[in-house]
Structures are given as C-alpha cells and as structure tokens.
Amino acid sequence: MNRLHVFVAFGFLAALGACREAEHTQADQREALDDTRNDPIAYASTGFSLAPSEIPASKRDAAIARAQGHIKKNKDKIPNDADHLFEVSDLIVDRSGEEHVRFDRRYKGLRVFGGDLVVHSKADGSFGSESKAYGKTIALDINRPISPDQALANARNAWKGASIQNTRSELLVYARESNDPKLAYEVVIEGSKANEEPSELHAMIDARTGALLNQWEGLQTITGTGKGYYSGTVSIDTILVSGKYQLKDATRGNQATFNMANKTSGSGTLFTDADNIWGNSLLSDTSTLGVDAQYGAAKTWDFYLSKFGRKGLRNDGVGASSRVHYGRSYNNAFWSDSCFCMTYGDGDGKTFSPFVAIDVAGHEMSHGLTAVTAKLVYSGESGGLNEANSDILGTMVEYYANLANDVPDYQIGEKLYKSGTKALRYMYNPSLDGASASCYSANVGSLDVHYSSGVANHFFYLLAEGTNGTNMPVSPTCNSSTLVGIGRDAATAIWYRALTVYMTSSTNYAGARVATLKAAADLYTATSPQYNAVAAAWTAVSVN
C-alpha cells in the first residue's frame, strides 16, 4: 500500500531535519506530508540507522573488513583481481545490524570513474547484495596515453565560458554504463560564463583517441535550507563543489558569507556544509548567523533587481560578501567599500543580540549603493542623507523580505535589543530615540550622521505612509500638517531616482528636496499628486 511508503519517506525526511512544508515545492512531497500530519511517527528521534557517533571504531573496522572479504569472495558479482583496490568512502549500520559499506575503486593505481559500489552485509555478517555503478571486468593497458596537454586542448573545444581561471587533469579509468572501460583524462576547466556565473566544466577525454567521451557542469546551484537567528527557516541558494556545499550564491553574483570566528582581521573562512541544511536558529551553531547574513544579502539583491532592474549594488552583476562573528561582543555592523563587504558583530549578549537582522543587512548594503551613485560625503547634512538612505532602503528591503519572524516596520534595528522594547531609530518620529532630529534646523548638520538622518527618515515616512496611515504609527509633523501617504512603491521609486540620478557628494537637505522633486516630476509629472506629496512632506519636516 502506498501509505507505508509515504511513512518511510516522511520518517527519513524528518530524520534529516528537512520536513517543513514550506521547503518542499514538489506537489507529491506536500501531499505526503499532508497525508501523515495526523500520524506522528517516531522514526525522527531514533533514525533507521545508527548515527556515526554510535558506531565504535572496532565495529566500524569489523564491518569494513567483512565487506572487503565479500568483495574478494564474490568476483562473479564484483569483478576484481590483484590490480583492483577498494577504498572505503562511507559506512552505514542499520539498527537491525545490517551494514552498508561504500567503496571507491582504483585500478593499477588509477581512480576508476564509475567504480563506486556499496556492499550490503546481512545482520549475521554474511554477504547480502551489492549496489554498483559498473559491473564489467576491467582489464586495461594504462601505458602510453596521449599527453595531458593534448587532452586539455581537446577539452577546451567543449568549453563555452567567457574566461578561464584554472585547469587541471587526471588520468583515470572511465567505466560507465554498458561501454567497455576506457583509459581517459578528466579535464576540469574553471572559469566564468559571459554573465559572470562561475563555471566548472568537466570533460572526459579518451586517452587513446582524444575523443570527448562525456562532459558536464560540475558547479551546481542548489537551494538549501537555512535556519537563521532572526529569519527563521528560509531558502538559500548555495553551490555544491566537490561534494561540499558552500554558502555562496551563484545566482546572485557569487555573494558569499564568511566566518570571522571572533577575529577582527582577515577575510574569514567561507561557510561550508555537508547536507545543505544550514544553522539551527540558535547561536550554538556558528552557521546560524551566516544564514541571516546570506539571506539578507539575497533579499537585498532581489529588492534592487526587481524594483529597479539593478544587478548588484554596482549594477555589474557582482555580489557583495558578508562576514559574521566579527570580534567578540561587537555591538555593530558595517559596510566597507574596499572589501565590498558587510561585517556583523555578535552583540554583547547583554544589551544587544547579533546584528544580522534584515533591516541592518539592507542598511549596510545600501551604503554600497550610495558609494557608487550619489557618493554622499559622510559628514554634515550629506552624511545625514547618506545614513537616511540606508535606513530608508534598508527598511524597504525589510518590507520586501516580509518575514513572519521579523514583521516589517519603520524602526531600525528593533530586533537587536535583547529587551525587545527598543530600536536604534524610529523613522516615523525620529526624536523618540532621544538624539535624532525629527525636524530640520540650521545646525542639524553638526549632529552625528545617525541623528541628522532623522529629518530625511521622517520625510520618507510621511511621503510613503502619511501622518495617520492605517495600522501604522502616528507621525507628528513639524508644521502640524496632516498628510496622506503615496505608498511605499512610489516613495521608494522617487527616492531611488533622486539618489541615483540627481544627488551628488555635497547634496544637503535643500538639495535633497530639489532632487526628489525632480525625480517625482520625471516619474509622475510636476502636476501629479506624488509631486505635491513630496513637496508637502519636506515642508512638514521644515525643509523648504
């Protein structure tokens, strides 16, 4: 009956920790989960097989020796002689006592491509069966192949990429399907395609004739599962390289996340994983914060691409990297133009939690946008506009991500406070933080840029949401006016165009008013409600 099959599949997925409905896109898997929802099953807690830590070394060695013995005794099923060497690559022991030992094979010292097999022993240790990739006898002369250079030249004909960074080759035995085994070179060409996606061509070249026997792309983009600290369970795009997953996103300009491991210098270590399930939503797993950073970078990329057709912050298809676990108890996050990367501290654990929240990610990466567009100098009024731009677009990234675990709002860094009752900044009423300016005054440029930003944050909130938006916090104006918002999309489009088309390094608040009015006129005409709303919102924060 189909139902039992479904049970086993569910138990297996649960054991891998992968059984959350949202992660499965295939209709049949969803059906399977629905089918079992009312029948909790205990497989998940125990597993069908022993965990590696439950297999003592003696048991492991005995199982391998048993399987090696079965190979020698069953030459009719697994053709082999003294020229064959079988190397263990994995071992699974079922709770029933059955053993499954996985081997790779060498022939006269050469790796046998397709030589992998699994030997299954019964619970009493006797031979059960074998699973094998290739079943023919291998008897080959491995001498006098064509040269590696010739093999590489032939492989290059199959390369479709734009630039080559590295090449390597290995002489091996190619044993696939029903073909007779062949002496061959596996040539690997690493580089990138015209669209800058990385590529790793594997070409199998016949070492006698030079013919192309097979080819494939070795670099696979895969959707993994991340369990972030703030983001919860999310999909993240990763790549699989030589059997290991990397926290690197080939679909978004190779954005990658690195672990600084509490250091404050160097570029850290790229996060890697064996099963493509990253983090556990807790700080006990160092990958957890990597998930949030990588997810934040992905959402920021998608926001700019979907809203403005911008491919990466520099619009050049190159992603920004992230570094997490910077220093010890570091209470901040920062963007650096020189490494084109974001860096996040863990927070002190007393006042602050880790700084990897989505609005912070959007904020930091938007500094990268300013750096290649308006280049607003980071002091005086232009510095306040620079900071405001990051708060504005970071918040729009937060709305774009629309996480259930981090409901979007116009507070900045509200997830960072352990108390859960504070935020770094409040766009609808900036002076709530006790330091930011809600209204313009002549000395606003003398404030720290994180406080002079308040005027523009306030302007943007009033423009998008108005003074009394539905289910939104009230935003008091500086001239007691009452405003109706034009919506986030229109406000964002106007702000983005002003930043990328009209603002320059020296733009001040008066200049920001001019720039946003020009942008509104471009997008909606100078007699549009949107244009009038821009003017009214600036006036409401005393920028005339």
Q: Which two tokens stand for residue 280?
A: 């556990």
Q: Nearer to Zn ion by C-beta: 254 or 390? A: 390
Q: Which of 254, 390, 395, 530 binds Zn ion (CB under 5 A)?
A: 390
CA distance 467 to 187: 64
List all residues 6 or more positions away from 465 whose beta carbon is below 8 Å from its beta carbon.
Answer: 410, 428, 472, 475, 485, 488
CA distance 485 to 502: 23
Q: Which of 100, 363, 450, 458 is catalytic?
A: 450
Using CB under 5 A as the binding rule, whether residue 457 contacts Zn ion is answered as: no
Q: How far is the CB of 390 from Zn ion (least distance, A)?
A: 4
Residue-by-residue DSSP string for 467-484: SS-TTS-----SS----B
Q: How far is the CB of 332 from Zn ion (least distance, A)?
A: 9
Q: Nearer to Zn ion by C-beta: 390 or 477? A: 390
Q: How far is the CB of 179 from Zn ion (least distance, A)?
A: 60
450 flagged as catalytic = yes
Segment interacting with Zn ion (CB under 5 A) among 293-301, 345-353, 383-391, 418-426: 383-391
Q: Nearer to Zn ion by C-beta: 278 or 303? A: 303
Q: Nearer to Zn ion by C-beta: 390 or 539? A: 390
Do the bridges between strand 163-174 and strand 182-192 make them parallel or antiparallel, or are there none, so unpaired?
A: antiparallel
Residue-by-residue DSSP string for 393-411: HHHHHHHHH--SSS---SE
Cα-based angle 132, 133, 139 (whole degrees, multiple of 5)? 95
Segment interacting with Zn ion (CB under 5 A) among 73-81, 278-286, 389-397, 498-506: 389-397
Segment interacting with Zn ion (CB under 5 A) among 195-203, 382-390, 410-418, 464-472: 382-390
147 DSSP assignment:
P
CA distance 165 to 169: 14
Segment interacting with Zn ion (CB under 5 A) among 73-81, 112-120, 205-213, 385-393: 385-393
Segment interacting with Zn ion (CB under 5 A) among 123-131, 184-192, 325-333, 388-396: 388-396
Longest dimension (CA), the chain: 92
Number of residues that bind Zn ion (CB under 5 A): 1
Backbone angles phi, psi at 433, to 5 degrees: -80, -5
Q: How far is the CB of 445 from Zn ion (least distance, A)?
A: 17
Q: How far is the CB of 318 from Zn ion (least distance, A)?
A: 21
Q: Nearer to Zn ion by C-beta: 390 or 395? A: 390
Q: Nearer to Zn ion by C-beta: 121 or 390? A: 390
Q: How far is the CB of 502 from Zn ion (least distance, A)?
A: 21
CA distance 273 to 240: 9
Q: How far is CA 406 from CA 211, 332, 411, in A?
A: 56, 19, 11
Q: Which of 364, 387, 398, 414 is catalytic?
A: 364
364 flagged as catalytic = yes
List all residues 6 or more positions away from 172 whose beta carbon is below 8 Å from its beta carbon.
Answer: 110, 111, 112, 113, 183, 184, 185, 186
Binding site for Zn ion (CB under 5 A): 390
Please give the positions annotated as active site: 364, 450
